[in-house]
Each structure stands twice: as C-alpha cells, then as structure tokens.
Amino acid sequence: SQYTRTCRLDVEKRQSVLYVLGTTLKASLNRSAPPKTKYFSVKCTDNVQYIISPLLQTTSYLSPVPLMDNSVLLITMKEASVHENDNKLSVWYYDADKTVLDKAVLHLTGVDISLDVDADRDGFVEKNNPNKNTWKWGPHGHGAILLVNCDAESLYKKRPDHERNIKRRMSSDVKDMSPMVLRTKGPAKLPEGYKLVLHICQSDGEKIRVFISSGKRDKNIHTDMDHYPLVLYSASLSKEIPYLGNDEIKFYVEGVKFPDKDFDGLIHINLSLLEPISEGIPETPIFTDAVVFRVAPWIMTPNTLRPVEVFVCSTKDNYKFLKGMKSLVESSGYKLKICHEYMNRGDRWMQDELEFGYIDSPHHGFPVVLDSPRDQQLDDFPYDVLLGPDFGYVTREPKRKDVSSLDSFGNLEVSPPVTVNGKHYPLGRIIIGVAFPTASKGRNMTKMVQDFLWAQTVQEPIALFSDWLEVGHVDEFMSFVPAKDRKGFRLLLASPDAGYKLFKNLQNDGHGDAKLFEDIPDEPTITVNEILADKILQDENNYSQSCIDWNRDVLKRELGLDDEDIIDLPVLFKLVEDGGQYRALAYYPDMVNMIVLGENLGIPKPFGPKVNGVCALEQEMVSLMGNLGLTCTFIDDFTSYHKLMGEVHCGSNVRRSPFDFKWWNMEM
Amino acid sequence: SQYTRTCRLDVEKRQSVLYVLGTTLKASLNRSAPPKTKYFSVKCTDNVQYIISPLLQTTSYLSPVPLMDNSVLLITMKEASVHENDNKLSVWYYDADKTVLDKAVLHLTGVDISLDVDADRDGFVEKNNPNKNTWKWGPHGHGAILLVNCDAESLYKKRPDHERNIKRRMSSDVKDMSPMVLRTKGPAKLPEGYKLVLHICQSDGEKIRVFISSGKRDKNIHTDMDHYPLVLYSASLSKEIPYLGNDEIKFYVEGVKFPDKDFDGLIHINLSLLEPISEGIPETPIFTDAVVFRVAPWIMTPNTLRPVEVFVCSTKDNYKFLKGMKSLVESSGYKLKICHEYMNRGDRWMQDELEFGYIDSPHHGFPVVLDSPRDQQLDDFPYDVLLGPDFGYVTREPKRKDVSSLDSFGNLEVSPPVTVNGKHYPLGRIIIGVAFPTASKGRNMTKMVQDFLWAQTVQEPIALFSDWLEVGHVDEFMSFVPAKDRKGFRLLLASPDAGYKLFKNLQNDGHGDAKLFEDIPDEPTITVNEILADKILQDENNYSQSCIDWNRDVLKRELGLDDEDIIDLPVLFKLVEDGGQYRALAYYPDMVNMIVLGENLGIPKPFGPKVNGVCALEQEMVSLMGNLGLTCTFIDDFTSYHKLMGEVHCGSNVRRSPFDFKWWNMEM
Ligand SMILES: [Ca+2]
Ligand SMILES: [Ca+2]
Ligand SMILES: [Ca+2]
Ligand SMILES: [Ca+2]
C-alpha cells in the first residue's frame, strides 16, 4: 500500500496505535533503542504482519538478531479489530551478551475506513474504488459526477435549490445530489480522543454543499422534510462525523456553481482520522481518504435532436403566425406552449431571452434553461415559468452597459456532432457571433457569458462574425437541418449569390416582371428586373456575401465540413445606417431563420416573385430541402416578425431531448 | 495549405484579389455562371496555379469542359507579386453549343506575410516556424517565451519597467523583451484600402505590451531613447502596421503579468490582413497569422545551487553573529552584503522578507526577488536596494488581515531536483508550510501567495504542516544539504528522538551532569539529567516528533525519498502557550536552521553539554555532516537570534546561480 505513516517505538511507555487498513506503519528500530543495544527481536499477535528493512539473513525475528543503524519495522494488519487494542507487537532490545535491556510495546487497534462515491459512473456507490480520488475523461475513464442543484423543488417562494440557505433538505431534493458513503469497520468505538472529520478546502466550499442522512428514518413521520442536515458548506469547511463501528453513513453532495472561467469543475472531499495529542494542541491527521467530483457541464441541444416542447409568444398582432406555428407543431406531433401577454409584456422574441440545455450524471439529469443577460420584457419567463422541480435555471449577469444585441441567444447556437481532423465532438460545438477581433469598435457577446460557455468544455465554442448584421445574430445567416446521408446534417447558409442567380435565371426565362411582396397589404412591390437593376443593392449583397463567405470558411474549418455539407439558400440583404455604421438586414423574409422539428421545417414565407402562381423562392426551398427528405411549411411572419427585424426562429424556441451520448465519455 | 478563403467570381465586374502565399482561394464556378451555362474553361498567368474539384477526366481546362453543380476552382500562387495585379485568371462560360456566354476575370496580387518569433527557442527569430502558434513543453517542444519586464532600467524614480506607463522605451530595456518580426514580400504597396493590423484580445491586453522598432536609427543621435514606441497594450488592442514591401519590421514584446491563478501564462498575438469593403463598413480580415508566447515562470533556487551573494542585517546587538557570518562567507569565497540599520530599521529577519529567484528565456534572463507580504521594517529593502537593471521584483499583496507569520519566507523553501514515481522535477519542488486542512482554526500562508506559487507550475509545491511551531516556518525543522552520492542531496530534519537518544547515551556514559548553555552570560544552565527527568518536556518532544514525522512522511512521498536520504539532527523543542494554543519553539539553537554555502555549512551554535570540553551536539553534527564531505562552522546566534525565536537561516538569505536546466525543457 502507498500510504506509510511513521510511528514511534518507546521503551518507557507502552504505545497504543490506531491502524487504518491498507496503510503501513513504519518505525525506526534504532531511534528508540536503549544505549548499548546490539540485538533485537520482534513478537506479535496473529492479525499483525511485519517486515524488517533491510531484510536480514534470517527466517525468524523471534530470537535476537543484530540491530543496524537503518533497521526499520514495517507493520500492517490483516483485518479490522473487534475490540480496542486487541492486537500487539513488541520489540525486545538486547546488549552484546544478548541480555534483555528493555522492550517497546505497541498495542494495535485496526479500523477499516473508506469514503466512497460512484467513481465508475454506473449509478451506484461501489466500495473503495482505487480511482476515486482522480478524474479521467472517456469510456475507460473514472471519477464521480456532481449536478448543480439548480432546479426548484418547491414552487412556494420559488428559488433554485442551490441558492436556498436552508440547513436541511427534503428527500425529493437529495435525489438531485450525488450520494457519498462513509463505510467503517472495527471496534464499536474509536479509542478515546480519536475523531473522523470530513473536510473541504476554502475554494471548494463555495462550490459544493454536503448533507448527511439522519440515518434513523421514522416511517411514521408523514413528511420526509428535515431529514438531511447540512454538514459542509462555505462557512463550515470541516465537520466531525460519528464513527459507528461496522456501519455506513450516507451523504449527499450538491453542486452550487457551474464550471466557469475561475473554476475547472473539479472538487475534492476529504475524510481524515485525527489523533489526539493533548489539551490545547491540534489533533494530527494520521490518515486521509479523498474523493473527487466533477461538476456536470451545461449542455446545449442542436436541431438534430428530438423536440419535446415548442415555445412561442402570443402578442396583440401575431395571430396569423401563431396559427401557422400551432398547425406545424401539432401536425409534427409536438406540443406548442404559448407564453401569454401578461408574461411576455409584448416581447415576442422567445429565441433571444433563453437557451434550453440540460445537465446529466449517472444518477440523475434534468433540463436547465440558460437565461440571457438580454433581460427585456420576457425576462421573468425563464425564472417564473420554466424553473421548477427537475427544471433547472442558470444565468450570468454582466453589467448593463456590457450587454448588446449580440447577447440575445439567437446569437447562440450549437452544431450537430462533428469530427474535425480526427477530433470528435460527439455533442457538437457551440456557435456564437462576435465582432471581428480587428475591429476597433464593435458589438460582442459579453465576456461573462462567453467565459461560461467556454468553461463547459464539452462543446468547445466557435466564434463567428455576426456584427455585420444590424441585429447581429448568427441565426440570421445559418441553420442546421437533419440529413440521412453524409454527416447526418446539412449546414444551411443564407446566400445573396444564390439569390441573385435565382433572380437572373427568372429574368432570363422571361419572368423579370414578376413581383415580390405581392400578397402583403400596404407593402410596396418590386420586380425582379428592378432588383437586378439596383447596383447599390448588388454592392450591398456582395458585401453580405463576403461576410457570409468568411463565416463559411470558419465553419468549414472548425466543423470539418466539405462544400457538399453546405446548402446555399437564396436570401438577399440590404444595408441600413445605424450611428455611422452600415449593417445588414434581410431584404425579404430570411428563409434560413427557420424552426426545425425533426423532418418538418417551419420557414418564413418569403413572398418572392411568382411563376405560374408559385413563389420561385419557396419552390427553390422545397426542392433543396426535398432532396434531404425534409418538408417545408411556410409561415407568414412578414408583418409581426420580419418587419420588426426577426423571423420564425427568432420568435420561437424548442426544448429538445438530451443526447444519448454521455458527456463524461468524451475523450478530452 | 490549411487556410482556404472563399472568393467570388463575377461576370459583370472584373475582380481584383489580394492573395497571401501559402493559402488557397476557393471559388464556386457554378454560383457566378450565367443562366444556360453548360461548359467552362480556365486560363491563367504562369505564377498562378489552379485545381478544379471534382477532378474531371481531362488534362486541360483551356478548352470547354462540362460545368457541374459542385464545380469549384482552387487557386494558389507560387511567388509574391512584383506589381499590383500582375497576375490573372479568367473563367469562360459557354452554352450548350460551346458559344461563349460570358467570362469572369480575377486579377491577382500575391503577397508573402509572416509574423515570426523564436518558436524553436534558440535565441533567434526564424522565418515562419510551422509551430509558431502552439506551445509545447519539453526538449522536443516549441513555442516562444516572454519575460515579465520586472527589472528597472533606470534608478531615477525607480519602478519595475513593466509598471511604467511611458509610451517609448530605450534600447537597454528592449533586450528584456522578446523580439517578434513581421516579414513581408510583394509589390511596394498594398492595393488601395488593404491594411495590416496587429491585434490581441482584451484579456491578453492586460498581460503584455508590444513595442515597435522605429527602424531608421540615426547613428548621430547620442541617446537611443524614444526609439521604441508602444503599439499594443490594454487600452489599444489593435494597431495598423505599415506594409513596407520586401522588408521586415521588428517588434519587442514585454510581459506585464506573471502566471497566476487566473492566467495560465499563454498569450497570443495576431496579424490580420484587412480587405476594404466600402465607407462605413468594417474591413473584413482575409488572412490572419498568429504567434503564441508563454510568460516565463518565477523559479526558486535550492541550497544545492552555487551561491552568488549572501545577505544579512546589521543591528545594534548582532556584532558577534555578523563577525561569524563574514568569516564563513568570505572563507567560502562568496560576498557578504550587509543591510544596514537605516534600511532594516531593526528588523533582522533577512530570510523572511524576501525570496530570491529568477526568470529565464532563450534570449535573456535575470534574478527576480519575490517580496513577502510580511512587510515589516525590512519591507523597503527588496524594492529600494535589490530592484535595478537586470534585477527584477515581484510581490503579491493580500489584505493585511490575511497575513500571518506563515507568510514569512522562512516558510517558503525549495527542494533540489527529484524524481517521484518516474515523474521528473528537474527544478525541484517548492515547499511551504500551512495549517492542517482539518484544523478548525489555524494559520496559513496567504492564498494569494500560494496561488502565485502554484501557477508557476515548474516547481509544483508541496504543503507541509508548520502551524505546530510558534513561528510556523518550515525552515525550523528541515533543510537540504548537497551530497555527492545518492540523489545529490540529503534532507535534514530536526529530531527530538535523536536528541533524546544522544542525551540518554551521554547519561549512560556518565555525562549526566554535563550542562547546556554553559558559556552564555546570564543564561541559566541545565544538565542532561535534568532534561531527561522532565516528563513534560518529554511529552512536548513526543508531540513535536509526531508533527515532524507527519511531515517526514509527506516529504518522502512527495519527493520520492528513502529513509537513507534523510538525516535526523538532535534538536529538542518546547511548547509555549499563545492565545490558548500550545506551539513549539527550539529548546536550544536549532541546528537544522542553517545556511548552506556549497560544502560549507553555517550552523547555529547549540551550546550543548560538553564532554572533555567538546560540545556533544556539535560533535554529532560534525560527524553526520562530515560523512557527506561537508564542513560545519558554528555561529553564535544565541542572544541576537535564538532568543528572538530565529536562527542563522532566518537571519540570512542567499542569492544563487540559476539552474543549468532550462525550464521550458520540462516534460509537463
Ligand atoms: Ca458505481
Ligand atoms: Ca433540487
Ligand atoms: Ca529561433
Ligand atoms: Ca527592463
């Protein structure tokens, strides 16, 4: 065994030693030998084993053997004691004539102590896993896992559980926590003055709380509240734990902080056995067992995962949109959840206020909403409506002045699983939009949220350039749809070039007089010929295309995509001036800004030029998506969303099933 | 080459493209093809190369070949251009009859751009090292190195250079910085509107500064000040850099922050080529080159390294000590530097106020003093006396209330190089003293200094238990001395057991009446018999031995030591009460608290019991050290240090030569 403890032999006083199974006691024979000692011998009870180092040419130490300067005794025990001091080892010292000079006696009590966790990640707390105090990624890895207890068990005065300062917890709450077990074996009591202490370091005190099972559960008490008292937290970093002999004590560990810039997610819990010295002198730890946990990261869910619920806002003016969405969602077999006006207070951008994700561990998992620092009128929705039992909540709150339009979560997406130059991302990669790093000024996603996203580590983020857009969200130029072939998905990109190509073909085929926006009341129409004749618009779209191409190159590199994995959608942009800067907006409803529900796509109705009564843009879209086996439903969002600078995706949000792949099986 | 950029072909407007050598331009042939296109052909100038993807069954694209949906053109250039647009590629489009429909023309200008650093660590900036943007430890590693410019070039209004806010630097200062070179090749000017921009991210802006060489040095100007203007720092994260055609521009990079809890030491510098779009629209980066630096860690020097200077304080009452030290240091061939009373203001604890270390890089290195947060009367010495040209200064300043006696640097030591379970520590391991983690209260080295020490990473710290001592410093019970055999050193430990053994042997040999402290005026003497009869003192020493044994076990485990690597020195302790806690002090001068100068040891004179006029403690010491070829000089520090709770080591400090081993060659 690795853990060796030096102990003293003393000829003047019999010594009592508490021995922990699996460790080794080491005693210098020479240090305690009386003057003139030349020989020594050793005797011990059956349960005790010893080795003399250096080894002598002898089969037995029962009769006197020569004492050397560096003679050392290594002592172990086979089993835990039944009674205190039920084992003994004695060393006899002799002079040159082999006359006894004195003897040193060790009375030994053996105890077995193990602090246990689910280090093999099968949902059960095994006994004394040799890897319990290290953490390793991958299917052959090990190390226990902790959830941030960020759901709310009770809806009365609702708060995330990990933010409650109550010192006892109910049983419905400990199931969100990781079990930890102290197993002991030995005499009914520890020798006088010895103590078991559970302890954590100060920085871990801010990251976890440990609760203890009261053990003796009274079946007759109708409520199970008050049965799990708090033992370790930031203001109490160490706690004496009763030693119960041959028994076990169950603990529950709660995470209170997600991995972040200043926290790699790992925390350690230690159990020490303390030896008393005397009044006023601190006890000495003579054995320490340690376990490690990693706090589960927050994980995002890409468009390729199965939808569970779809959320939209109801406003005074979006009846047509709601009707289209309801029909699409219900015919796809999912549930549409409507956030009503008393809650949304007129804010229709359901995509932007929150991002759905989840946390997971071998024993439990649940969805967690990340609340955006955007904080407009929808601000209360994630906390007031979503947070609840087994539905967690997390947010990052930067200073107001640091928040921009790029902090809305239409600017936070995630790719399907990819492999890039041999590196696997089985949970995909997070995608955010920022300003060019070279830009002297520019809007950015706030550092506080970016730091949080990076610190989750399992979906390594990619930064795209989205500041060229007036609204500045990546969902204005990209989306992912499922596909049965290739990598299991396609990247859809808005493409002004594809738009111009489609319009030129229409002109070429004699449809130059076809009109856009024909069926929209009060909206001026414009013909294909007029669009193609507008050289300024062409320049603006060349610029937009170059911005998208820059992002296209980054996405290809960072997601390991080929051109064949990308589909260009015919979308035009126009530039608008805003404080001296020109930025882009969709010219007609931006078809890439869609909602993806399995094989059914809800796409902003583009109101493009018609050929034989059929919208050429819709037709192109139906053809491109049809090749992938996907069905397009066009939803009229023109007045209620497009004119307000957003589309279908901006106005909706989808909670999806977690990945089948378990995050701790990633190779990092 | 890895870096591929999408570019547009346009049949309506000739396109000018700036190409960067080593990259690839990629253009969709289909996107720009006029309606009805069925065939295409490609022509280009000699310096241009292209590939069509997917590859067609043809040897030449000079005559029309069929256009496919996914036809893509991959363009590279062999050499930099001499003039703008001196190269050309054109794509001709044909209809089904192979009649020309239109053509798209690309005018190409090739430039070669490389941001270079000393990534191979040979002291010279090589050209375009393929590994320049990653950092790898070890002798086969790569990645450039940065020094924190923490020395002070000028003694006038002295400040560490990296804390000066002046925007220009002199040439003596840039030699502390890492050179970085921008090498360019191409036409004399970039095409209209293109720009080179050097940029860093916000968090790196707090960690480095970049200066530029003015280039045209005038030999007639007698001072070389003002020649290195500041270009990048926290308030200016990006800067346009002139493009000079076939030329190079030299930069100098200064570190301003040591690795710490929130900084892993790596920083990135980027150079981007920006393409103009039009007024009011941010330029698009079309090429980015990046380099990485690691900030050199602060490194401590163990007792086994060659001394350079020895520092002590002169006080009203320490003449005898000074005389002893001067004689030892000078006869050992080193220089004794005395800090006089006007500077030390009566504070004699030279060991405690500062720790000597150094920083190193392939181009330069210098000593750096770590100033302790102890901040007693010696506080000004490190800054006022030591800081200077090529002598750096660093400190960490926690809140006053967080500072305890454990923050004195007698509680901060470093081991010689060790190998532990196959893991090499070629620079040794830092050793600090703390309270037991299980202690409900207790003194500790402040977290701020501990965080700094851990963050240096190359001398992974070991925490010992030193809070059992009244003063609480690890140098009260341990030291390292050089040895020619085994691991190249021995660990010396104070040992009450060894002390008692020696005293018992004396008693046994009839010297029980021999007196301690005989030659000290006004100090009561005590006999060996009296010491051995004091059962309370025996208990206190048993406790002290158990504390040392606990540390002994940790040191054996963490330094990979055998018992044969450790020498027990006969030292007794006594306990004193301090605010309800009992803590230990040396009973007689603590011989382990020594100064090590090569093979010469300066040891507190123990004033032990004499046998035939010879001090038995000195004799034991001479014998133990003599076995290692080391010479003992006993220095009388009884009145001026020992009675004030310190000894020789506490009252001195040694600046030593750096390791021959270069820290970046560590395998991490
Ligand atoms: Ca298990
Ligand atoms: Ca809960
Ligand atoms: Ca080099
Ligand atoms: Ca300098």
Query: How crowded is residue B185: how many other Cβ atoms within 10 Å of its Cβ?
Result: 18
Query: Which stretches of A117-220 are assigned E, i.e. beta strand?
Result: 144-146, 168-169, 178-185, 195-199, 208-212
A408 Cβ contact list (under 8 Å, min separation 6) = A349, A351, A352, A353, A372, A374, A471, A473
What is the spatial distance between Cα A564 and Cα A629, in angstroms, rounded to a whole number? 16
Q: Are B393 and B382 in contact (CB under 8 A)?
A: yes
Q: Are B559 and B423 in contact (CB under 8 A)?
A: no
Tell me phi and psi for residue A115, to 5 degrees.
-95, 120
Q: Are A41 and A99 in contact (CB under 8 A)?
A: no
> Which of these, A117, A174, A179, lies nearest to A143 by C-alpha position?
A117
- Residue in this structure with the two tokens 């006022």, named with its chain if needed: B384
Average pLDDT score over chain A? 93
Take residue A453 and report the two structure tokens written for it.
Answer: 């996203």
pLDDT of residue A217: 42
What is the spatial distance between Cα B35 and Cα B40, in angstroms, rounded to a whole number? 13
Catalytic position from the list A7, A313, A615, A650: A650
pLDDT in tens, B71-120: 899 999 999 999 999 999 999 999 999 999 999 999 999 999 999 999 99
**CA B160 to ligand 3 center in whole angstroms:** 28
Question: What confidence category does residue B167 fall into, taking pLDDT thresholds of 50, 70 and 90?
Answer: confident
User: Which chain A residues have a beta carbon less than 8 Å from that of B235?
Assistant: none
Contact criterion met (CB < 8 Å) for B437 and A272: yes
What is the spatial distance between Cα A658 and Cα B525, in angstroms, rounded to a whole number? 79
Nearest to B284 among A447, A547, A564 (CB): A547
Mutation target vs B (from A10, A12, A284, A438; most B CBs, 10 A cutoff):
A438
pLDDT of residue A594: 98
Question: What confidence category does residue B547 fall into, taking pLDDT thresholds of 50, 70 and 90?
Answer: very high
pLDDT of residue A111: 97
Query: Smallest CA–CA separation between A118 and chain B, in Å?
Result: 24
Please give the average per-residue pLDDT across B501-517, as a whole number.
96
Take residue B26 and report the two structure tokens written for it.
Answer: 């990629």
Catalytic position from the list B150, B339, B632, B650: B650
Query: How crowded is residue A441: how many other Cβ atoms within 10 Å of its Cβ?
Result: 8
- Residue in this structure with the two tokens 């080591």, named with its chain if needed: B649
Is A145 a residue whose pLDDT tops 70?
A: yes
Measured between alpha carbons, how far apart are the two ends of chain B, in Å? 30
Take residue A308 and report the two structure tokens written for it.
Answer: 């569970």
Interface confidence, given as ipTM, is: 0.82
Query: How crowded is residue B158: how many other Cβ atoms within 10 Å of its Cβ?
Result: 13
A187 Cβ contact list (under 8 Å, min separation 6) = A81, A82, A83, A84, A86, A109, A111, A245
Question: What confidence category does residue A180 fall into, taking pLDDT thresholds of 50, 70 and 90?
Answer: very high
Query: Smallest CA–CA separation between A310 and chain B, in Å?
Result: 36
Contact criterion met (CB < 8 Å) for B437 and A28: no
Contact criterion met (CB < 8 Å) for A32 and B577: no
What is the spatial distance between Cα A128 and Cα A117, in angstroms, rounded to a whole number? 8
pLDDT of residue A440: 67
Taking CA A88 as the corner, what is the angle to CA A85 and CA A89, rounded to the nearest 5 degrees?
Answer: 145
pLDDT in tens, B270-291: 999 999 877 767 788 889 999 9
Query: Smallest CA–CA separation between A280 and chain B, in Å?
Result: 5
Please give the average per-residue pLDDT across A342-357, as a whole number.
95
User: Which chain B residues have a beta carbon less than 8 Å from that of A275?
Assistant: 546
Q: Which residues of A192-203 are buried (b: 16+ CB within 10 A; e: fewer)?
A: eebbbbbbbeee
Nearest to A504 among B35, B262, B436 (CB): B35
Query: How crowded is residue A58: how many other Cβ atoms within 10 Å of its Cβ?
Result: 11
Q: Are B213 and B250 in contact (CB under 8 A)?
A: yes
Q: Which residues of B98-107 are buried (b: 16+ CB within 10 A; e: fewer)?
A: eeebebbbbb
pLDDT of residue A465: 94
B353 SS3 class: helix
Residues with CB under 5 A from ligand 3 (ion): B 118, 120, 122, 124, 126
**CA B392 to ligand 4 center in whole angstroms:** 8
Question: What confidence category does residue A156 fall into, taking pLDDT thresholds of 50, 70 and 90?
Answer: confident
Nearest to A508 among B35, B70, B274 (CB): B35
Q: Is B535 exposed, middle or buried, given 0-12, 13-18 or 19+ CB atoms closer than 10 A?
A: exposed
Is B217 a residue whose pLDDT tops 50?
A: no
pLDDT of residue B220: 44
Contact criterion met (CB < 8 Å) for B550 and A7: no
pLDDT of residue B169: 85
Contact criterion met (CB < 8 Å) for A283 and B438: yes
Is B12 a residue whose pLDDT tops 90?
A: no
Nearest to B438 among A274, A498, A568 (CB): A274
What is the spatial distance between Cα B242 and Cα B246, in angstroms, rounded to a whole number? 12
Task: Identify which ligand lies nearest to the alpha carbon of A163.
Answer: 2
**CA A160 to ligand 1 center in whole angstroms:** 28
User: Which chain A residues have a beta carbon less than 8 Å from that of B4?
Assistant: 553, 556-557
Q: HEC states along A75-137? A: EEECCCCCCCCCEEEEEEEECCCCCEEEEEEEEEEEEEEEEECCCCCCCCCCCCCCCCCCCEC
pLDDT of residue B215: 58
3-state helix, strand, coil in chain B (%, to 5): 20, 35, 45
- Report the run of H or E that residue B324 belongs to, with start and end: helix B319-331
Kindly identify which residue of chain A lies nearest to residue B446, measuring between CA atoms: A202
Task: Identify which ligand lies nearest to the alpha carbon of A121.
Answer: 1
Contact criterion met (CB < 8 Å) for B539 and A278: yes
Query: Smallest CA–CA separation between B129 and chain A, in Å?
Result: 21
Task: Identify which ligand lies nearest to the alpha carbon of B387.
Answer: 4
For the ranges A62-66, A293-297, B478-482, which has the lowest average pLDDT? A62-66
Q: Are B573 and B583 in contact (CB under 8 A)?
A: no
Q: What percent of chain B has pLDDT over 90?
A: 83
User: Which chain B residues have a beta carbon less than 8 Å from that of A197?
Assistant: 438
User: Which chain A residues have a beta carbon less than 8 Å from that of B552?
Assistant: 6
Contact criterion met (CB < 8 Å) for A447 and B508: no
**CA B210 to ligand 3 center in whole angstroms:** 19
Is A85 a residue whose pLDDT tops 80?
A: yes
pLDDT of residue A2: 62
Please give the average per-residue pLDDT across B522-537, as a whole number.
96
Q: Which residues of B303-322 are buried (b: 16+ CB within 10 A; e: fewer)?
A: bbbebeebbbbbbeebeebb
Counted residue by residue, chain A has a size of 668
pLDDT of residue B364: 96
Taking CA B300 as the corner, what is the angle to CA B294 and CA B301, rounded to the nearest 5 degrees?
Answer: 130
For the ranges A26-30, B206-210, B565-569, which has the lowest average pLDDT? A26-30
User: Which chain B residues have a beta carbon less than 8 Å from that of A582?
Assistant: 279-281
| DSSP string computed for B437-451 | TT-SS-----HHHHH
- Radius of gyration over every alpha carbon of chain B, rounded to an integer in angstroms: 34
> Who has greater pLDDT, A66 or A283?
A66
Query: Smallest CA–CA separation between A487 and chain B, in Å?
Result: 18
Is A218 a residue whose pLDDT tops 60?
A: no
Nearest to B8 among A497, A505, A581 (CB): A497
- Residue in this structure with the two tokens 């169950």, named with its chain if needed: A250
Q: How many helices and strands, by DSSP H and E, does chain A display?
A: 11, 43
What is the spatial distance between Cα B415 and Cα B427, in angstroms, rounded to a whole number? 8
**CA B177 to ligand 3 center in whole angstroms:** 15
Half-sphere exposure of B227 (CA within 13 A, CB side): 17
Active site residue A650: yes
Q: Are A180 and A145 in contact (CB under 8 A)?
A: no
Take residue A428 and report the two structure tokens written for it.
Answer: 């995909």
Please give the average per-residue pLDDT across B402-417, as a whole number.
95
CA A340 to chain centre: 31
What is the spatial distance between Cα B634 and Cα B614, in angstroms, rounded to a whole number? 13
User: Which chain A residues have a beta carbon less than 8 Å from that of B201?
Assistant: 437
For the ranges A200-214, A590-604, B273-287, which has the lowest average pLDDT? B273-287
**CA A338 to ligand 2 center in whole angstroms:** 26
Contact criterion met (CB < 8 Å) for B28 and A498: no
pLDDT in tens, A382-417: 999 999 999 999 999 988 888 999 999 999 999 999
Half-sphere exposure of B232 (CA within 13 A, CB side): 32
Q: Are B98 and B54 in contact (CB under 8 A)?
A: no
Query: Smallest CA–CA separation between A277 and chain B, in Å?
Result: 7
Running DSSP on this structure, what letter comes out for residue A282? P
Contact criterion met (CB < 8 Å) for A285 and B568: no
Contact criterion met (CB < 8 Å) for A563 and B440: no
Kindly identify which residue of chain A lies nearest to residue B72, measuring between CA atoms: A563
Is A158 a residue whose pLDDT tops 50?
A: yes
Q: Which residues of B556-568 are buried (b: 16+ CB within 10 A; e: fewer)?
A: bebbbbeeebbbb
The reported pTM is 0.89
Please give the average per-residue pLDDT across A333-347, as a whole number.
94
Question: What confidence category does residue A624 fall into, taking pLDDT thresholds of 50, 70 and 90?
Answer: very high
Kindly identify which residue of chain A lies nearest to residue B509, measuring between CA atoms: A35
Q: Are A649 and A479 in contact (CB under 8 A)?
A: yes
pLDDT in tens, B375-394: 889 989 999 999 999 999 99
pLDDT of residue A130: 94
User: Which chain B residues have a beta carbon less than 8 Å from that of A235?
Assistant: none
For A421, B357, B359, B369, B655, the CA distances from B384, given in Å and listed in that order, are 54, 17, 20, 12, 17
Contact criterion met (CB < 8 Å) for B238 and A440: yes
Is A580 a residue whose pLDDT tops 90?
A: no
Half-sphere exposure of A496 (CA within 13 A, CB side): 26
pLDDT in tens, A229-240: 999 999 999 999
Kindly identify which residue of chain B lies nearest to residue A560, measuring between CA atoms: B2
Q: What percent of chain A has pLDDT over 70?
A: 97
Contact criterion met (CB < 8 Å) for B546 and A8: yes
Q: Are strands B144-146 and B284-295 parallel, antiparallel or unpaired?
A: parallel
Taking CA B196 as the corner, what is the angle to CA B194 and CA B200, rounded to the nearest 5 degrees?
Answer: 140
User: Which chain B residues have a beta carbon less than 8 Å from that of A279?
Assistant: 582
Question: What confidence category does residue B439 fall into, taking pLDDT thresholds of 50, 70 and 90?
Answer: confident
Take residue A141 and report the two structure tokens written for it.
Answer: 């890895």
- Radius of gyration over every alpha carbon of chain A, rounded to an integer in angstroms: 34
Query: How crowded is residue B661: how many other Cβ atoms within 10 Å of its Cβ?
Result: 14
The reply to whether omega before A54 is within 30° of 0 (cis) is yes
Running DSSP on this structure, what letter comes out for residue B454? H
